[in-house]
Structure 1
Amino acid sequence: MQAKITVLYDEGSLPDTTLIGAKGSSFIIEADGERTMFGTGLRTRYLQTNMSAMDVSADDLDRVVISHMDKDEWGAVGAVLKDRTKPIAVYAPSDAWGEKKSFGCTGIYFPEEYKDRGIRQDIEGWIKFSEHVYVSPPIPYTSGRKVGRECVMVVRGSLGPIIISHCCHPGMEAVFDAVEKKFECTPIGYIGGLHVGRKNDPLVDSACKVLMDNKVPYVYLNHCAGPTGIGRARFNLGLEGVHDFYAGESAQFDLL
């Protein structure tokens, strides 16, 4: 039995396909006969295009999980709600929710025309969605002037936990500590972004030190890591130690 993690939306996409690369992040996590959408990306039309190209139907999803309040993680939630024939649970930290304003918004909200198709679910502690799929409690962080909380998804693989993250705002050490404490073993995989800005080698280096110290064999980077961050991670972990992971790509892991 395996889990499959597929990138649906990312700044990068596979060449020679109709997939669109754009700001934001969305994964499809398939395990235990269920499909979880983790993040939606920013733009509704782009998510719809990629869902169509990858033959993902909104009604095939069992739930949507949003890690934190940055709009590029949830802005396209309307694309899912629009095509649902029955309501779907949308999980997010309680402080990530908000409302639409005349100019912008204060956090996650459901578009008015589809609001009855989304069921708000707040994340405060560990949630076990199925035998092998979990979401963490929101982990606090400070990023510049921004203060928030971010959740990560975890797949419990046969060799250990695999972390799926959007931005890793709390830092790799805090994320690893939370997951290791929950599962009582060291994570064996990290998939997702690293919020490192245009160029922040010390931040990438510190994240890579955690990965090296824990001898993590599976590292897939995308989203806010960007080409510069991925390149710096390869400087630390070796060319074969880091895989880029763009829209249209998948990774599979054995389950217990």
Structure 2
Amino acid sequence: MDATITCVYDEGALEDTPLIGAKGFSVLVERDGKRVLMDTGLRDRYLKHNLENLEIDPESIDAVVISQAYADNCRALDGLLDMRESPVDVYAPEGLYAGSKGLFSNSVGISDDNRAKVNLRNDDGWVEVFPGITLTPFHSSESGAERYLVVEGRRLNVISGRGIDGPAPAMDLVFQRYNRYPDAYIGAVLLEKRKKPVAELYATDFSSRNCNIIRLNHCVGRDGIMNLRTHLGLHGVDEFYVGTVYQG
């Protein structure tokens, strides 16, 4: 069974399309008739614009997963709820959406009008969102805390919303549960503004775990992708911009 992962929010967007690139991260996962949105990006209006142009009905989203308490990943949730009528399960870090979001607020929160549309879930540990779509426990360090999404399709795929400590934590969590490393790493790894030796270390993380399908975006930055390609080859790393679709 194939799974489909579509980038709906990123700094880059496919050329010659109406899609908009903007700071933030969000992808749509589709498997066996279920749709899960991982993260929401930063700005409501860009999320709405890209969903409309990708012809993704917000009502068709069956669950939302928020990987971390970082604005790039979580602030546009209230905007998504504006586009819906029915409630939706939202798996989020505990307390992240406890506050209210006003009309002119740049804070992370949920407006009073949308509070009834969200079923906040703060489940710990491994969480099966739907069969074949599983949320990992939190990886925590001095850099922060984040979770990853594992998607079982024709391949074993892991999705990262930021990758604060590189790709290894996500891949190692996958190994703990599945006794194998993921075939594909989709999404972000924090390489922007980091020096070349860090890219070399992360390239080793990928190659030593035989993860050979790498689709990167968000905070990796263009220089980060090029530095990884120095070690993994020109075709070893692909961009995953808004509008890009991965199947596997």
Deviating more after overlay: 113-122 vs 40-49? 113-122
Q: Identity of counterpart residues, as a percentage?
A: 33
The SS at the match of 1:27 is: strand
Do 1:89 and 1:118's aligned partners in 2 also have CA atoms closer than 8 Å? yes
Which of 222, 227, 246 lines up with 2:222 in the alignment? 227
CA distance in 2 between partners of 1:101 and 1:109 (Å): 5
Equivalences for residues 110-189 of structure 1 within 5 A? 110-143=110-143, 148-159=144-155, 161-189=156-184
Partner amino acid, structure 2, of 1:195: L
2:67 is equivalent to residue 70 of structure 1: no
Backbone CA RMSD of aligned residues: 1.7
Which of 208, 212, 223 lines up with 1:213 in the alignment? 208
Do 2:96 and 2:109's aligned partners in 1 also have CA atoms closer than 8 Å? no
Q: Which runs of 5+ in 2 are unaligned?
A: none
Aligned residues: 246
CA offsets, 1:112-153, max 9 Å, x none?
A: 22121111111311111222111101110222xxxx310000
Partner amino acid, structure 2, of 1:235: T
- The TM-score, its normalising length taken from structure 1, stands at 0.91
CA distance in 1 between partners of 2:151 and 2:92 (Å): 18
1:59 paired residue number: 59
Shift >3 Å, 4+ stretches: 95-98, 100-105
CA distance in 1 between partners of 2:141 and 2:245 (Å): 29
CA distance in 1 between partners of 2:195 and 2:91 (Å): 31
2:18 is equivalent to residue 28 of structure 1: no
Partner amino acid, structure 2, of 1:210: D
2:245 paired residue number: 250
CA distance in 2 between partners of 1:151 and 1:201 (Å): 26
Q: Which runs of 5+ in 1 are unaligned?
A: none
CA distance in 1 between partners of 2:177 and 2:165 (Å): 17
CA distance in 1 between partners of 2:112 and 2:35 (Å): 25
